[in-house]
Structure 1
Amino acid sequence: MSGRRHLWRWRRNPLRRREDVVEAWIVLAVWVLVTVVGAVVAPLAFRAAEHRFAEQRAHRHPVRAVLMDDAPHGVTAEWSADGRVQDAVRWVAPDGTSRTGRTLVDPSLPAGATVPLWQDDRGRLVTTAPTKPGEGRVEAGFLAVGAALAAAAPVLGAGAFARARLDRRRLALWDREWDLVGPR
């Protein structure tokens, strides 16, 4: 009996209108499309994110940089949200050349202190360490869910729009019928 209740719009019923059947088909089509879109987009997004994180792990390398000056502190220092300041550092690139650049360091460090940083294959400093494999899988999972939801949103929106139009049509039909029956 409960199966019939779920498919009530397809059953024979003298009160069933054409709009009810159309709405039932719209709801079915929307959910089938959402399922298919999610099943296609989520694995693609997951694999793309996993590939990107693997690339980061392959092309980012740790390096020990040396602080060239005492880290600035006080009013003139360029502070970041985590309390670190910008200062000049020197490090050795993968090709053996000495490089200099600016990065965020703790404000209490003296000149000559070593700072652990990350560089790419060309010896340029990168702002963050590569994502660890376990963290990468979790982040890729969240990105996959987000991508599936983003891809399904237009389908759900179109379905909601179509159902709203059907509701307006039903209300207009009820108004017309009431105009005929109401005065009696």
Structure 2
Amino acid sequence: MRPAARLDRWRRRCGFDRNDLRRYVDRAQWRLGLALLGIFLVAAPVLGAPVAGAVHESGVRAERHGASAWRRVDATVVRVADSRGRHRVTVAWTGPDGTRRTGVHTTGRDRAEGERVAVWVGAGDTVSAVPPRTRAETRFAAAAAGAGAVAAVGAPLLGAYLLARRRYDRIRRGMWDAAWARFDDHRIGP
């Protein structure tokens, strides 16, 4: 099919033709739909890109801070205390200067004494079982925030279109009822 024929088909499908069977309500609905689509195509990138960019920047800062403030160590569990499904675990490891150090952290996983675990140690021997933020987490968070912003732009526009469509359908039903009433008034025969 030629490109001009495809464009013409798209034009007619969107309601931009002189079809006598197409009512003003149909044309109004199509124009409203195209206007709302145009608003979405302009507003979504304008609002979504800055949100995704800000979340990505924040994530990169968190990555850099995590890389400088936390270091991974292999530690040994020396004591486990249970408290309502949470386990308070004391771990021991050897510091960079060769001294034995201990720290406490809370985890949801069941640990046994003597078990080897990977933990992240920060300033003042603060212990965390959660690793610092990775590049993949940053990218995912930025993509999710951008998608959320696009959805936040699109949802009200879609809602407005659906409300208008409901109204246009009500008008169309009224027009059909009036047309059938006019048709029913014609008597057949002498």
The counterpart of 2:80, out of the listed 55, 64, 71, is 71
Structure showing the higher helix proportion among its residues: 2
Distance 1:69 1:99, change over 3 A: closer
Could you tell me which runs of 5 or more consecutive residues in structure 1 were left unpaired when the two chains were aligned: 93-97
Distance change >3 Å, CA 122–CA 142, structure 1 → 2: farther
Equivalent pair of 1:65/1:89 in contact (CA under 8 Å): no
Percent of residue pairs bearing the same amino acid type: 22
Aligned counterpart for 1:62 among listed residues 70, 75, 88: 70
> RMSD across aligned C-alpha pairs, in angstroms?
3.4
Query: Are the counterparts in 1 of residues 119 and 131 from structure 2 also a CA contact under 8 Å?
Result: no
Does the alignment pair 1:47 with 2:53?
A: yes
1: CA distance, partners of 2:124 / 2:23: 68
Separation in 2, partners of 1:170, 1:32: 25
Higher mean C-alpha deviation, range 102-111 or range 144-153: 102-111
CA offsets per residue over residues 53-104 of structure 1, 9 Å max, x none? 11212333225597895113xxx55435xxxx22356999xxxxx9965422
* Deviations 1:26-54, CA, capped at 9 Å, x for gaps: 11111111211221122112211211211
- CA 122–39 in structure 1, closer or farther in 2 if over 3 Å, else same: farther
Amino acid at match of 2:34: L
Conserved 8 A contact 2:44-2:154: yes
TM-score normalised by L of structure 1: 0.72
Larger Rg: 2
2:56 maps to amino acid:
E
Determine which of 9, 17, 27 is the counterpart of 1:11: 17
